[in-house]
């Protein structure tokens, strides 16, 4: 189906932990939203691919995703090959999003950094008619990068205050990944006690930069195009 917004993510749970607020807010405004997970997360320290499939489906229901596809690239081996690019080009051409979202290109997890490059290349080549891959050429009008571990100075911060609680509930669907002392599996950064508090703190910090309770930071490679300059005056005093 046609989508207005498509987020490209390396692993199931990436969207919920990063750009879910933007997706929820776009959906509330009438947009159709989707996520393309590149892998099933089967190489993760905790949980199994089957478990994560179920968690991703539950989280998709919480977010109200109109589409969630998985390219089943091997986890831990997201690479920018022509084969992988063609598969992502076909997803973009099939769903024709106006806004494409991908990870920031610097990250401690190589899958995230490679997913960023793959998303950018697919964004461009989806619009090139002679590039291999089924579907009519289509290039999303804009591409934004979300923040995983490494920080950047954001081009913009989206006010997600109204959607924070649902974002938190969607992330909580990934029970295999989050803190659970009864599971007896090795601890990861995400499963450490206190991770969710720090995660919430980060959203509060970026919200504070624009004078709201919760915010998601995004980076755009070029300047952010603004049509109506009054869109900048959105009823809150920016904390600049
Ligand atoms: Zn990830």
Mean pLDDT confidence for 137-143: 98
Do 143 and 221 contact (CB within 8 A), yes or no?
yes
Report how far ligand 1's centroid is from the alpha carbon of 111 (Å).
7
Report how far ligand 1's centroid is from the alpha carbon of 107 (Å).
10
Q: Is 142 helix (H, G, I), strand (E, B) or coil?
A: strand
pTM value is 0.94
Q: Is 37 helix (H, G, I), strand (E, B) or coil?
A: strand
Report how far ligand 1's centroid is from the alpha carbon of 231 (Å).
33
The residue count for the chain: 240
Report how far ligand 1's centroid is from the alpha carbon of 233 (Å).
34
Chain-centroid distance, C-alpha 209: 21
Report how far ligand 1's centroid is from the alpha carbon of 236 (Å).
33
Report how far ligand 1's centroid is from the alpha carbon of 10 (Å).
5
Mean pLDDT confidence for 180-190: 77
Report how far ligand 1's centroid is from the alpha carbon of 182 (Å).
23
Q: What is the b/e burial string over 20-51, where b = at least 16 CB atoms within 10 angstroms of the residue's CB?
A: bbbbbbbbeeebbbbbbbbbbbbebebbebeb
Q: Which CATH superfamily is domain 5-232 in?
A: LmbE-like (3.40.50.10320)
The domain limits of the chain are 5-232
Query: Measuring CA to CA, which residue among 33, 35, 45, 46 is closest to residue 10?
Result: 35
Strand order of the sheet with strand 33-37?
67-70, 33-37, 5-9, 99-103, 142-146, 215-219, 156-159
Please report the pLDDT score of residue 230 as a whole number: 86
pLDDT tens digits along 156-169: 999 999 999 999 99
Query: Measuring CA to CA, which residue among 217, 3, 24 is closest to residue 104?
Result: 217
Residue given tokens 């508090």 in the structure block:
197
pLDDT tens digits along 1-46: 899 999 999 999 999 999 999 999 999 999 999 999 999 998 877 7
């Amino acid at each position: 189906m046609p989508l207005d917004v498509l987020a490209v993510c390396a692993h199931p749970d990436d969207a919920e932990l990063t750009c879910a607020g933007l997706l929820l807010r776009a959906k509330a405004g009438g947009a159709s939203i989707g996520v393309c997970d590149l892998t099933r997360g089967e190489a993760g320290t905790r949980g199994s691919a089957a478990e994560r499939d179920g968690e991703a489906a539950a989280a998709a229901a919480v977010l109200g995703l109109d589409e969630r596809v998985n390219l089943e690239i091997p986890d831990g081996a997201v690479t920018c090959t022509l084969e992988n690019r063609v598969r992502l080009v076909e997803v973009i051409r099939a769903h024709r999003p106006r806004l494409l979202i991908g990870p920031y290109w610097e990250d401690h997890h190589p899958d995230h950094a490679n997913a960023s490059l793959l998303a950018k290349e697919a964004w461009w080549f989806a619009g090139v008619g002679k590039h291999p891959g089924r579907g009519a050429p289509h290039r999303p009008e804009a591409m934004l990068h979300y923040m995983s571990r490494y920080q950047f100075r954001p081009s913009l911060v989206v006010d997600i205050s109204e959607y924070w609680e649902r974002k938190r509930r969607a992330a909580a669907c990934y029970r295999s990944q989050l803190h659970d002392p009864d599971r007896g599996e090795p601890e990861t950064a995400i499963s450490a006690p206190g991770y969710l508090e720090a995660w919430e703190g980060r959203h509060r910090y970026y919200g504070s930069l624009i004078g709201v309770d919760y915010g998601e930071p995004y980076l755009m490679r070029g300047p952010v195009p603004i049509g109506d300059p009054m869109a900048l005056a959105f009823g809150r005093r920016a904390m600049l």
